[in-house]
Chain A
Amino acid sequence: EAGVAQSPRYKIIEKRQSVAFWCNPISGHATLYWYQQILGQGPKLLIQFQNNGVVDDSQLPKDRFSAERLKGVDSTLKIQPAKLEDSAVYLCASGPEDSTDTQYFGPGTRLTVL
């Protein structure tokens, strides 16, 4: 079974630039999550999708971050404009609809904002 795919794996941009990350969840998984993990900290949930709909985006900085899930499958996370403090690893995870809370994580995208 293929895992969660993310791209790019690494991205370096300057502050005030825009960046987008892509995630392809495990086939058939209804739930998709985006996390931000700053070095030395645990992952912080940014947004959770259930199929096409947003379940939780309470911790998403909506003035600069946006996310969408196309046709309930792939998802993109965008930052516009980026700030220095956005430097982190952005993790995507997916889970089956009938799971209590098991999440399968992708390898992440390491973003460096200069």
Chain B
Amino acid sequence: LAKTTQPISMDSYEGQEVNITCSHNNIATNDYITWYQQFPSQGPRFIIQGYKTKVTNEVASLFIPADRKSSTLSLPRVSLSDTAVYYCLVGDMANDMRFGAGTRLTVKP
């Protein structure tokens, strides 16, 4: 199983760009990198997924270097409503995917 390491918590202010980095040194060739967001009292919600280089959608960008041993979730101009726990998962077809403790992001006014 590809293990992931993320910071336990991060603080930011409204309007700033937030970058959360995830380390996955033993990522396998077939593994994808997926990020989820979880608000209190809700189930996790899919944010973005990538395999290599850069992926961008309406919510976030995902940067993956050539060696794929890490990835960075970038949230542009965060607002208070982006306060949540962000999980980085690595795996193939969800068979080997495991949630870690995630990164608790707190956005302050």
- For the complex, what is the distance from the CA of A41 to the CA of B98, rounded to whole Å? 12
Given A41-B101, A108-B43, A102 contacting B49 (CB threshold 8 A): yes
Interface size class of B (residues with CB under 8 A): 20 to 34
Q: Is the CB of B98 within 8 A of A45?
A: yes
A60 CB, min distance to chain B CBs, angstroms: 14
- CB neighbours (8 Å) of B82 from chain A are none
Scan residues 60-92 of chain A and give those whose CB is less than 8 A from a CB of chain B.
91
Query: Which residue of chain A is the closest to B101 with respect to CB atoms?
Result: A42
Given A43-B99, A101-B32, A107 contacting B42 (CB threshold 8 A): yes
Q: Is the CB of A105 within 8 A of B34?
A: no
A51 at the interface (CB under 8 A from B): no
Q: Is the CB of A100 within 8 A of B49?
A: yes
Query: Which residue of chain A is the closest to B6 with respect to CB atoms?
Result: A42
Partner-A contacts on B (CB < 8 A):
32, 34, 36, 41-46, 49, 85, 87, 89, 91-95, 97-102
- CB neighbours (8 Å) of A56 from chain B are 95
Given A43-B44, A91-B43, A101 contacting B99 (CB threshold 8 A): no
Chain A: how many interface residues by the 8 Å CB criterion? Answer: 26
Q: Is the CB of B99 within 8 A of A105?
A: no
- For the complex, what is the distance from the CA of A107 to the CA of B43, rounded to whole Å? 5
Q: Is the CB of B87 within 8 A of A42?
A: yes
A103 at the interface (CB under 8 A from B): yes
A25 at the interface (CB under 8 A from B): no
30 contacts between A and B (CB under 8 A): A4-B43, A40-B101, A41-B101, A42-B85, A42-B99, A42-B102, A43-B44, A44-B99, A45-B97, A45-B99, A48-B95, A91-B44, A93-B43, A99-B93, A100-B49, A100-B92, A100-B94, A101-B32, A101-B49, A101-B89, A101-B93, A103-B36, A103-B44, A103-B46, A105-B42, A105-B43, A105-B45, A107-B41, A107-B42, A107-B43
